[in-house]
Structure 1
Amino acid sequence: MRRSTWWPLLLALLAPTFAQSPVPTICAEEFCRCDSFTRVICDCTAADNEVTLRPNGAYSVPSTTTGIIINGCARVHFLAETARNLIQLRTVELTNVGHVVINDHALAWSPFSRENEMQPGIRIVIRNSTINDISSYAIQGRVNDILISDSTIDNMRPFAFSSLRGVRNVELTNNVFRNIAIQAFKQFTAVNFILRGGSIENLPSRFLSDVEVTDLFHMDGVAVGHISSLAFFVNSPKRVLIESNTIDTLEADGFHMVSHGSITFRNNSVTTLRKNSFLGFTVAPEITSVKGRLEILIDNNTITNLTPVSLIYNRTTLNLRVDGLNLNVPCTCELAEEWRVLVREQGVINCWYDLEGHFISVPTFVDSRCGTFKQTFWIFVVIGVLVVVIIASIVTFIIVRRENEKKKKVQIVLPDGKTYRETEFHIVVERAELLTTDL
């Protein structure tokens, strides 16, 4: 009984000692350190170095951390709630990382009870890395910039970037996207959204869902296999530039955008353009009420499979201007007739002219090759050439035959002065004998 009475007292006396023993943070990792600015900096030198960022427990991220900077590690794993209580956090930067996994709510950062525009946010930068998985709700809260470049993204889950506030720039540059789920970017406002370079196998419906872009939406130089209907569900951009992309298939209403400015679709190469591909572009009513209809410009694009209905657009809020549309199919009079109305209304539409090996305008082709006489002219030319060749061959044959016949005949001159022209002759050998006196 006495021993059991002393145990609680002994534990109470030793408790302060246990409480004072330090718990190691990530700063104690072999290849990580914390500098005077309370940034966590990990420079991995070995090929198998791994970093796990956790919110609590041993080797967790210190609560005073202002930045997380990781370079050259084989694997980086953000556990759930890693950034939740890092009030001073401003930067997350990953460079040359072999494998990155970001768990759900790992970079959900909302330290302020009341939000206003003057409050700071975090800046997320990922360069030259392989991102194996961005989980649902992985990045939320107050984020100023999301910059991902020269990286491979294997899996981007639904709502991976969602409910963001204070976003200035989302820039995705020269990345390879393997698998993107629907609504990967969901419900936030950004000043600029830029998708530049790299390749995407498939852009699903609502890749951008209920995203408001207040200044620039720019898609530039991206190779895309398939753009689904409603892939870009975007509101309010003042400038829309879609240029220099290579697209296999663009479905109807692939760009569903309510713009506050003009729209430019320039220098793109599209294999298949579905019906109503441009019908999703429109202009906000509050803009058209002041400025009237704005312009959608189709400039110097090359498209293989399309029909005039592929270019149907919203005539209530937009005016279509075609400054260059190359139909990547051979010119025919039937093709010209199919595009006749649009050519008359819009101008510069070209087709591929096989005889000269370049694009020419549809009206130029019509002027030179179409019409009742022009369509049959070349038939008459070909027939005339064949007749001339046949006649020349017959005349040549007759002349050659006569010359050969002349060469076969032999002239014989006899002593009486007569000349005979025969086709053949015989030589008779005669024997001469001496005359005798008996005669």
Structure 2
Amino acid sequence: MRLPKPNEKVSIFIYFLLYFCNIFSRQCIGQQWTSQDSGDGAYNNVSCIAHDTKYTCDCRNTNEYMTLPRLDGYVYQIEISNCKHMYVRPHALANIQGLRTVIFKKVENLILTSNALSFPIHTSNTPLYVEFKEVKIEIIESHAINGNIGEITFISSTIESIRPFAFTTLKDHSILFKMDGVKINNIEPQALKKFTIDQLEIVNSEFLSEVPSKVFYELEVLTFLRIQNVTFKKVHTRAFSFNVVKKLSVIGNKFDRTESEWITAQVRDRVLIKDNNFGTTSHIAFKAIEVSKEVAFLERVELQFINNIVKFNNDPQALVFNDKIQLQITHLQYHNQFPCKELDKTQPKSPFFRTYSENIYFHTKNNNQSLTLSKIIDVDCKEKSYLLYIILGIISLILIVIVITAIIVMRIVKKRRKRMLDVVLPESRTYKETQIVYQIENAGLLKTDL
């Protein structure tokens, strides 16, 4: 049986029909984006659907390992959501034009490789807004987030590891860097280094491991720096290092331990340190909060140190503050007892303790309450240091006088008894001699006419 010859006109018609159906499906159902180089055999590209100028990349909670493809075109907003495993390649979004917002929402096991979110200035003149909400980030590699970024926010998220230089080369004047409700398991030195930002906020968060030196290193905060309701383990020396801070607020935080000069800042305006428990600390913990040279000769910057708790392993020491800052202390609680040996008569030897004796509190000897230093001196120190010693001295003197008097009296009595015995007692004679003398006396032989 012979088959009919193919009709060329029908073949061309079918080809164009399939082409237009494909175009129609892409416009009606949504554009399916694929990676330009899908060389990652272990990862599948997440499907990114375009709706006007918003692109949605939804993993649909699949347990597969997904990766964000490199995208092109003009995009205003990209949202990546509902992923169990997400891997972002280097420069994944570098070719997008007009991009303003990137949102990661409800993503687990997110890996941001080096230059994963890199946004060169040529892609958009407007700084980008990058948000992580309800995200668990496995790692933020070095230089993972950089470029023309105006705001970075982490909300209700967990970060397992932040490498050095994770956030770099941000726009000269970024607007906001914020962590709200974030748990950070490990953060390495120089994670945020040498950039200028308008506002930096770390609130309602928790650092699950030690914060090493120079984590926040040589940053400039032009408007406001706020660390509030954050729980820390050990914070090392100069962990928070800022070249310039206009307004600084450290409120309601809990530290297990703060090492010497854990925060350094050149401040231009007021400083508020309130309602913090600094745990075991150093007497120079706040010494490196200094007045910026730009305002040092114009006005005095005020540091309000209100309702804070400090603790020392050994004898408590006076806190040291920069002498160019106008210091205001209210209810500073030492989690220690005051050593009475540090008194000079009735006043503390330290000028700091003398000046703020009505605003500094110590535990009493029985630890059942806290009292101001002035009252502690009266209750626990004054009586022991002076009155008790005086009483003991008087008692000792009286005892010595009594002992000496008793010795003298005993000697006098002994001498008198000895004299009385010498008068009363007869000469020692035998019985026979005594009888002879008695007979002679009776016979009158001892009498004479003289």
TM-score in terms of structure 2 length:
0.71
Relative to structure 1, is the Cα distance of residues 339 and 106 closer, same or farther in structure 2, using a 3 angstrom cutoff? farther
Residue 329 of structure 1: how far off its partner (Å)? 1.7
Which amino acid is the alignment partner of residue 298 of structure 1? F
- Report the Cα distance in structure 2 between the residues aligned to 1:51 and 1:122, rounded to whole angstroms: 24
1:76 maps to which of 86, 90, 108:
86
Which amino acid is the alignment partner of residue 335 of structure 2? N
The answer to whether the 8 A contact 1:85-1:111 is kept is: no
Is 2:377 the partner of 1:366? Answer: yes
- Report the Cα distance in structure 2 between the residues aligned to 1:260 and 1:214, rounded to whole angstroms: 9
Which amino acid is the alignment partner of residue 110 of structure 2? V
The answer to whether the 8 A contact 2:364-2:380 is kept is: no
Query: What SS does structure 2 have at the residue aligned with 1:159?
Result: coil
Residue 372 of structure 1: how far off its partner (Å)? 4.9
1:96 maps to which of 83, 106, 115:
106
Is 2:350 the partner of 1:343? Answer: no
Match of 2:273 in 1: 265
Query: What SS does structure 2 have at the residue aligned with 1:287?
Result: coil
Is 2:162 the partner of 1:156? Answer: yes
1:323 maps to which of 312, 320, 330:
330
Match of 2:192 in 1: 185
Deviation readout 1:30-88 (Å, 9 max, x if unpaired): 97442333322133333415431132xxxxx2332322212221012110011222122
Residue 359 of structure 1: how far off its partner (Å)? 1.6
- Report the Cα distance in structure 2 between the residues aligned to 1:92 and 1:241, rounded to whole angstroms: 29
Which amino acid is the alignment partner of residue 147 of structure 2? G
Query: What SS does structure 2 have at the residue aligned with 1:237?
Result: strand
- Report the Cα distance in structure 2 between the residues aligned to 1:248 and 1:321, rounded to whole angstroms: 25
- Report the Cα distance in structure 2 between the residues aligned to 1:339 and 1:93, rounded to whole angstroms: 58
Relative to structure 1, is the Cα distance of residues 186 and 369 closer, same or farther in structure 2, using a 3 angstrom cutoff? closer
- Report the Cα distance in structure 2 between the residues aligned to 1:339 and 1:142, rounded to whole angstroms: 55
Which amino acid is the alignment partner of residue 203 of structure 1? V
Which amino acid is the alignment partner of residue 242 of structure 1? V
Equivalent runs, 1:224-239 vs 2, <5 Å? 224-239=232-247
The answer to whether the 8 A contact 2:46-2:67 is kept is: no
Residue 373 of structure 1: how far off its partner (Å)? 6.5
The answer to whether the 8 A contact 2:46-2:68 is kept is: no
Equivalent runs, 1:385-424 vs 2, <5 Å? none
The answer to whether the 8 A contact 2:319-2:352 is kept is: no
- Report the Cα distance in structure 2 between the residues aligned to 1:294 and 1:339, rounded to whole angstroms: 27
1:300 maps to which of 299, 304, 307:
307
1:213 maps to which of 194, 207, 221:
221
Which amino acid is the alignment partner of residue 353 of structure 1? T
Which amino acid is the alignment partner of residue 216 of structure 1? F
Residue 276 of structure 1: how far off its partner (Å)? 1.7
The answer to whether the 8 A contact 1:54-1:80 is kept is: no
Residue 112 of structure 1: how far off its partner (Å)? 2.4
The answer to whether the 8 A contact 2:109-2:136 is kept is: yes
The answer to whether the 8 A contact 2:137-2:159 is kept is: yes
Is 2:205 the partner of 1:198? Answer: yes
Residue 379 of structure 1: how far off its partner (Å)? 12
- Report the Cα distance in structure 2 between the residues aligned to 1:339 and 1:222, rounded to whole angstroms: 35
Which amino acid is the alignment partner of residue 103 of structure 1? T
Residue 299 of structure 1: how far off its partner (Å)? 1.2
Relative to structure 1, is the Cα distance of residues 379 and 39 closer, same or farther in structure 2, using a 3 angstrom cutoff? farther
Match of 1:352 in 2: 363
Larger radius of gyration: 2
Query: What SS does structure 1 have at the residue aligned with 2:353?
Result: helix
Query: What SS does structure 1 have at the residue aligned with 2:83?
Result: coil
Match of 2:11 in 1: none
Compute the RMSD of aligned alpha carbons.
3.0
- Report the Cα distance in structure 1 between the residues aligned to 2:390 and 2:311, rounded to whole angstroms: 29
Which amino acid is the alignment partner of residue 294 of structure 1? V
Query: What SS does structure 2 have at the residue aligned with 1:364?
Result: helix
Query: What SS does structure 1 have at the residue aligned with 2:118?
Result: strand
- Report the Cα distance in structure 2 between the residues aligned to 1:243 and 1:46, rounded to whole angstroms: 38
Deviation readout 1:225-258 (Å, 9 max, x if unpaired): 1111121121322210111111122122211101
Match of 1:36 in 2: 51
Residue 173 of structure 1: how far off its partner (Å)? 1.4
Residue 264 of structure 1: how far off its partner (Å)? 1.8
Deviation readout 1:190-221 (Å, 9 max, x if unpaired): 11100112211222211111211001111111
Deviation readout 1:344-396 (Å, 9 max, x if unpaired): 2234100113557222101012123332567666999xxxxxxxxxxxxxxxx
Deviation readout 1:244-290 (Å, 9 max, x if unpaired): 11112212221110111121221111221124211211111221221
- Report the Cα distance in structure 2 between the residues aligned to 1:209 and 1:346, rounded to whole angstroms: 33
- Report the Cα distance in structure 2 between the residues aligned to 1:339 and 1:66, rounded to whole angstroms: 65
Match of 1:428 in 2: none
Match of 1:252 in 2: 260
Query: How many residues are paired up?
Result: 350
The answer to whether the 8 A contact 2:190-2:217 is kept is: yes
Which amino acid is the alignment partner of residue 187 of structure 1? K
Query: What SS does structure 1 have at the residue aligned with 2:87?
Result: strand
Which amino acid is the alignment partner of residue 43 of structure 1? D
- Report the Cα distance in structure 1 between the residues aligned to 2:226 and 2:387, rounded to whole angstroms: 49
